[in-house]
């Protein structure tokens, strides 16, 4: 098998793909018979390309002496997609097939999505998918920028690759704690039994980033937080939280259940959406520019860098349970977590007898990143002669239990592609369904009056987002570091 990476001079290849392939090489999942064919527009010699990868910086354990065999696996070819020479490229791939005695290929498109169709056309016109061996193609997000463009791209790709050969990456699905949601829900009676509207009061899903848009102004201006994060990562996490038990753990049974979730989402009401854009200010002691002064950003930009919304799942299991989702850039802390808040039953008898001084509803916290783990907040009796309630937290730390060397998301995903398992990749209908849901939200947000910028860097987002959840008598649950040992927000 070989992997052919288009866009190999880009950031993704250097920071994620090559380090992930190196890890797979170290774990002996790939070896000398697995050429890593890097395709880029720049004219570079192999040595220049290897220097450009900055292996020592991105793979701290890399040792040029011991790991020279890994370098031997890497090839670099120049192909400008605007004037690609098919004959030359086909010949190069053909000679690698002979040399490594393999015709199986993975095409990885680590490129701007505007080039996806062009690369697919190149693969087709070079005849790289015909003949012996199988071909798989991998797409990075975004798959389209709305329903129409996603359908168009999917149609285009499906003329060359069957759905079973298409791997659409949502790297959140490669994260251990996202995959853990199914294990947690479906293999533990304690959680399985309460996972419905009889016991659950509400659910919060938070993705909070401290970084701004970095050097992606051009991309972000056309995208914004809703398309960049909600359409993919947040809806994927939501699907795992909400889905019914699949018939089996096969990729299609799991994806069949996830798509049912997307189809059962009620349209979001305008008053249940808050958007924001960051101003200038301080993050981690550093002065940062407002979004509107970032490079390649319109000084009057109305693009949102923050979004929060309340939504409902319209099925028997979840009817009436609000889901509060939020994501934003330049916020106080970097973390992604889910909080499933159960109904507060502590008042049943304790209130009446006046022994309930401090209490909490049960909260199940799934920390997806960076401090992976699962915590359960519950009430216990405070020591002493009186029966006084006292909230406590039971905390499972993933790294303490399984060690720090768990594979990173891209390593997991590449491994799945190599073995041909599509479970952690989004199927065509999932992508299209998520755009069908998101398109009207984007339209509605476009019509909303906005007085941007409306939140300070280093904060937890605009005040309106606190009001959104506060209206229902609830509050956003802060990350572990900002909660007391009893699980309350500080």
Ligand X SMILES: NC(=O)c1ccc[n+]([C@@H]2O[C@H](COP(=O)([O-])OP(=O)(O)OC[C@H]3O[C@@H](n4cnc5c(N)ncnc54)[C@H](OP(=O)(O)O)[C@@H]3O)[C@@H](O)[C@H]2O)c1
Any idea which residues carry the catalytic annotation?
A: 233
Binders of ligand X among 96-135, rule CB under 6 A? 110-113, 115
Residue closer to ligand X, measured from CB, 13 or 379: 13
> Which of these segments, 10-18, 66-74, 130-138, 230-238, binds ligand X (CB under 6 A)?
10-18
Smallest distance, ligand X to C-beta of residue 119, A: 8
Near ligand X by CB under 6 A: residue from 22, 41, 166, 377: 41
Residue closer to ligand X, measured from CB, 15 or 474: 15
- 209 lies in the site for ligand X, by CB under 6 A: no
In contact, 310 and 322? CB cutoff 8 Å:
yes
Per-residue b or e along 121-156, where b marks 16 or more CB atoms closer than 10 Å to that residue's CB: ebbeebebbeeeeebbbbbbbbbbbbbeebbebbee
Near ligand X by CB under 6 A: residue from 48, 72, 80, 214: 80
Near ligand X by CB under 6 A: residue from 7, 144, 462, 487: 7
Go through the chain and tell me how many residues it has. 490
Q: Could you identify the residue written with the tokens 């007085």?
A: 451
Residue closer to ligand X, measured from CB, 225 or 268: 225
Smallest distance, ligand X to C-beta of residue 20, A: 12
In contact, 410 and 138? CB cutoff 8 Å:
no
Residue closer to ligand X, measured from CB, 40 or 461: 40
- 301 lies in the site for ligand X, by CB under 6 A: no
DSSP state of 232: I
CA–CA gap between residue 390 and residue 376 (Å, rounded): 14
> Which of these segments, 2-10, 190-198, 252-260, 288-296, binds ligand X (CB under 6 A)?
2-10
> Which of these segments, 37-45, 221-229, 252-260, 472-480, binds ligand X (CB under 6 A)?
37-45
Closest to 122 (Cα-Cα) out of 133, 112, 134, 109: 109
CA–CA gap between residue 181 and residue 238 (Å, rounded): 10
Smallest distance, ligand X to C-beta of residue 65, A: 29
The count of chain residues that interact with ligand X, using the rule CB under 6 A, is 20
- 81 lies in the site for ligand X, by CB under 6 A: yes
Question: Cβ contacts of residue 244 below 8 Å, gap of 6+?
Answer: 257, 260, 317
95 by DSSP, 3-state: which? helix
Kindly write out the interface string for residues 390-419 of this chain, putting x where it contacts ligand X by CB under 6 A and - elsewhere: ------------------------------
DSSP state of 102: -
- 269 lies in the site for ligand X, by CB under 6 A: no
Smallest distance, ligand X to C-beta of residue 15, A: 6
End-to-end Cα, the chain, rounded Å: 53
Smallest distance, ligand X to C-beta of residue 413, A: 11
CA–CA gap between residue 23 and residue 407 (Å, rounded): 8
Q: How open is the CA angle 134-130-29, to the nearest 5 degrees?
A: 25
CA–CA gap between residue 147 and residue 174 (Å, rounded): 24
Residue closer to ligand X, measured from CB, 89 or 455: 89
Binders of ligand X among 42-61, rule CB under 6 A? 42
Smallest distance, ligand X to C-beta of residue 85, A: 12
DSSP string covering 442-457, please? HHHHHHS---S--B-T
CA dihedral sign, ordered 277, 279, 283, 287? positive
CA–CA gap between residue 207 and residue 229 (Å, rounded): 9
Near ligand X by CB under 6 A: residue from 43, 60, 68, 82: 82
- 140 lies in the site for ligand X, by CB under 6 A: yes
In contact, 206 and 342? CB cutoff 8 Å:
no
Smallest distance, ligand X to C-beta of residue 293, A: 22
Residue closer to ligand X, measured from CB, 171 or 202: 171
φ, ψ of residue 391 to 5 degrees: the values are: -70, 140
Smallest distance, ligand X to C-beta of residue 254, A: 22
Near ligand X by CB under 6 A: residue from 19, 35, 40, 174: 40
Residue closer to ligand X, measured from CB, 81 or 355: 81
Residue closer to ligand X, measured from CB, 9 or 165: 9
CA–CA gap between residue 226 and residue 304 (Å, rounded): 8
- 10 lies in the site for ligand X, by CB under 6 A: yes
CA–CA gap between residue 216 and residue 62 (Å, rounded): 29
* Contacting positions for ligand X (CB under 6 A): 7-12, 15, 40-42, 80-82, 110-113, 115, 140-141
């Amino acid at each position: 098998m070989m992997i052919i990476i288009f866009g190999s001079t880009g950031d993704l290849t250097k920071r994620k793909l090559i380090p992930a392939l190196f890890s797979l090489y170290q774990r002996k999942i790939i070896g000398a018979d697995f050429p890593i064919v890097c395709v880029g527009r720049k004219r570079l010699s192999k040595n220049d390309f290897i220097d450009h990868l900055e292996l020592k910086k991105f793979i701290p354990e890399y040792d040029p002496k011991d790991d020279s065999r890994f370098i031997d696996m890497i090839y670099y070819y120049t192909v400008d997609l605007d004037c690609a020479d098919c004959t030359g490229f086909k010949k190069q791939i053909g000679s690698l097939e002979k040399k490594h005695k393999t015709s199986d290929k993975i095409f990885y498109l680590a490129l701007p999505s505007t080039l996806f169709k062009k690369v697919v056309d190149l693969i087709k016109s070079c005849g790289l998918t015909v003949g012996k061996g199988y071909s798989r193609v991998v797409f990075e997000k975004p798959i389209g920028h709305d329903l129409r463009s996603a359908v168009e791209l999917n149609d285009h790709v499906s003329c060359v690759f069957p759905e079973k050969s298409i791997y659409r990456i949502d790297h959140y699905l490669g994260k251990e704690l996202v995959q853990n949601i199914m294990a947690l829900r479906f293999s533990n009676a304690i959680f399985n039994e309460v996972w419905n509207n009889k016991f659950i009061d509400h659910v919060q899903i938070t993705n909070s980033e401290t970084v701004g848009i970095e050097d992606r102004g051009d991309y972000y201006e056309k995208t914004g937080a809703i398309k960049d994060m909600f359409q993919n990562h947040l809806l994927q996490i939501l699907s795992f939280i909400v889905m019914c038990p699949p018939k089996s753990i096969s990729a299609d049974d799991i994806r069949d259940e996830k798509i049912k979730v997307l189809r059962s989402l009620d349209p979001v009401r305008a008053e249940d959406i808050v958007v924001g854009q960051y101003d200038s200010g301080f993050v981690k002691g550093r002065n940062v520019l407002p979004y509107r002064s970032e490079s390649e950003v319109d000084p009057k930009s109305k693009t949102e860098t923050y979004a929060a919304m309340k939504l409902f799942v319209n099925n028997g299991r979840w009817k009436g349970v609000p889901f509060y989702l939020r994501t934003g850039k330049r916020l106080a802390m970097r973390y992604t977590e889910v909080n499933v808040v159960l109904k507060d039953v502590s008042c049943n008898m304790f209130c009446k007898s006046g022994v309930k001084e401090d209490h909490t509803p049960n909260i199940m916290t799934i920390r997806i990143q960076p401090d992976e783990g699962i915590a359960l907040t519950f009430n216990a009796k405070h020591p002493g002669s009186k029966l006084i309630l006292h909230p406590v937290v039971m905390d499972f730390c993933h790294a303490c239990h399984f060690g720090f060397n768990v594979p990173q998301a891209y390593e997991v995903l590449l491994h799945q592609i190599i073995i041909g398992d599509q479970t952690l990749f989004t199927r065509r209908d999932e992508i299209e369904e998520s755009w069908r849901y998101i398109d009207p939200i984007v339209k509605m947000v476009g019509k909303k009056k906005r007085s941007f910028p409306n939140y300070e860097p280093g904060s937890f987002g605009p005040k309106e987002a606190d009001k959104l959840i506060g209206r229902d008598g609830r509050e956003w649950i802060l990350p572990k570091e900002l909660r007391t040992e009893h699980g309350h927000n500080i």
